[in-house]
């Protein structure tokens, strides 16, 4: 078996509307999310015995983690779908941890895709989707890696097209934010449903209902949104997920690059990613 490389791209919530609290403790959400052309990278190769290594700029943030989602995905696949041979797994961790851009979920989904290739399982096998859902609310979306409307806990997906190629700049102030803490701080007000139709129009008419709560927990988000809002050519500025990563959509690559250069000069302590919607 040759080594397998799977991309684990960043995911951003272009809009995120939080609705009712469910009996199971989760909240119903309505979201439009998109994936970027860049993110973490997972490599899987045959080995004499199982091994797992984390490299990349954000590897230290995962040091000492008891059960990384990648290993959870490997083990869940082996239990529920098919046995796997010993594997040497390397996660190149390029995305910040606990940052609202689906990094851990994308990593788990990449492991499921790699495992399916190794075991000869079709990518649309319903057992793969069930395995993804058991690992976390965002993992089914990351398994597909396509722009989609998500409802329920995020796993009821309706795929859409029309946003690929839009330049995007991601900015994180170096603050990790707990999703659970942000949901606890949310004011509980249902501000209405997400629209439907043209995804760009839905994005522009939408909002992120978790933004106010996240800004109270991590005030550095305020500065990020302010700086992105002042960037020439920024067509939409918003926080993604439960934060603290924020994004701006731009009309051109040149405008995005100019904004990134200015931020790198003025805020060298912030993490930036220049990319495009996939």
42-89 tens-digit pLDDT: 999 999 999 999 999 999 999 876 679 999 999 999 999 999 999 999
Kindly report the pTM of this predicted structure.
0.94
171 and 266 in a common domain: yes
In this structure, the answer to whether residues 155 and 185 fall within a common structural domain is no
Mean pLDDT for 195-202 is 95
Same domain, 235 and 129: no
Catalytic residues: 11, 138
The residue range of the domain holding 77 is 4-159
Q: Are residues 69 and 186 in the same domain?
A: no
Task: Give me the number of domains the chain comprises.
Answer: 2
Q: Rounded to 5 degrees, what are φ and ψ at 275? A: -155, -170
């Amino acid at each position: 078996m040759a080594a397998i490389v799977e991309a684990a791209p960043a995911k951003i919530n272009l809009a995120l509307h939080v609705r009712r609290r469910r009996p199971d403790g989760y909240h119903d959400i309505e979201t439009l999310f998109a994936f970027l052309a860049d993110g973490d990278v997972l490599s899987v190769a045959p080995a004499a015995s199982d091994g797992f290594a984390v490299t990349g700029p954000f590897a230290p943030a995962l040091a000492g983690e008891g059960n990384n989602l990648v290993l959870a995905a490997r083990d869940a696949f082996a239990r529920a779908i098919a046995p796997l041979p010993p594997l040497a797994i390397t996660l190149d961790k390029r995305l910040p941890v606990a940052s609202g851009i689906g990094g851990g979920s994308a990593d788990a989904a990449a492991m499921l895709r790699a495992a399916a290739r190794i075991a000869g399982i079709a990518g649309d096998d319903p057992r793969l989707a069930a395995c993804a859902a058991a690992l976390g609310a965002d993992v089914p979306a990351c398994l597909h890696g396509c722009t989609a409307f998500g409802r329920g806990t995020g796993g009821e997906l309706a795929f859409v097209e029309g946003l690929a190629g839009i330049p995007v700049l991601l900015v994180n102030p170096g603050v990790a934010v707990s999703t659970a803490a942000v949901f606890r701080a949310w004011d509980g007000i249902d501000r209405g449903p997400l629209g439907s139709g043209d995804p760009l129009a839905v994005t522009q008419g939408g909002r992120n209902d978790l933004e106010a709560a996240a800004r109270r927990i991590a005030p550095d988000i305020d500065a990020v949104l302010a700086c992105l809002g002042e960037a020439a050519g920024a067509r939409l500025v918003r926080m993604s997920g439960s934060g603290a990563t924020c994004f701006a959509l731009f009309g051109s690559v040149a405008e995005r690059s100019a904004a990134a250069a200015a931020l790198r000069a003025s805020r060298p302590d912030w993490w930036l990613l220049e990319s495009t919607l996939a």
